[in-house]
Structure 1
């Protein structure tokens, strides 16, 4: 049997492809991404990370074993104690202060995906929640791995640090752990109805991730500029 993540990606089909090959990603890889788009992305991604921490807290609640609880707690701690601080430092390099981040309002695209993830977890079980998170956790690793050579070919690429972070061994290990956790949670067998639900969750999450990229591109358009 193929890994569960591969089954979910195959079921999502064009929605997965649209997400991982979005025009935002192509522009980033080719150093054609407007600064305004990346700055807007950084702010919204900071707000997303806060909700991501909440999702990991929900994963603790939804866990059936101490092992599952510890996995979720470690992920939540990594976000709250490390990743948010790193994000603030990256944002500082783009002229964004901590107050800029804390005072920003969530864009509807940010709300749509993060609350969908939380709802998937609240209304379902831990596997539902992990399926909703997988496009983000696994997708970023695969996206960065696919574009890192292009980014490295551009001297002083402005998004080099961002790309290297997700293409690096540390984050690739995080993504692989997420793939393994999906397999473990589904190891007892997934019937047709259950699989259909997971596919719907995963596919919808891919669609909402694409909308997140598009939000950043739209912010760079003159009519949206501030």
Structure 2
């Protein structure tokens, strides 16, 4: 499905690689003006130029540690100023940080996981609110782990993503007077990302795919599609507080 996002102003956090980059590319190719943030995975400049050559607007990149309050406030303001405001915010920053069973998990690691997945979402959304026009859209990128707890050693990650879905529902109510819709997507096994180390081998990928009813993995474009749908007010203007599962049916297998 194609949407016309001509001149729509979009901010994507964690947009330098994987799912985030797929979302950035899809918005830009549909005519949106996109700013995105990256921390450790610097964007491929050649790919950004390629997006522009294909007719999309060249995305604007900002380096950001989304767990740092001062940095978030500064960068979100810079991005909104560069775009002339915001119509869409995609909270995509996140990661496992490190797998650990609860008996071996340090309090420091627990806080790290919560900060990168949940606190970042809070900080960026709070900073963006004054720049989002009434009728805007916020999309939070959660995870299948929010529903099934994730694999071994992923309890902190699963809890943080479940909390993100809780925030999605709470904010859908809180921001409703301004007609700002808040929804989430919950990806499962997505290849072409740096975050699924267990699927780096052929055996690991085969095992992961075997657990998916559709018997195939997903790719960043598979997450970008529902994200763009949720961002488009004509397609999903009466949808708020919802989570779209993007996992090939793995949540009920």
Q: Which bin holds the TM-score, normalised by the shorter protein?
A: 0.3 to 0.5
The structure with the largest helix share of the pair is: 1
Q: Which has the higher contact order (CA 8 A, sep 6+)?
A: 1
Q: What is the TM-score when the length of structure 1 is the normalising length?
A: 0.36
The structure with the largest strand share of the pair is: 2
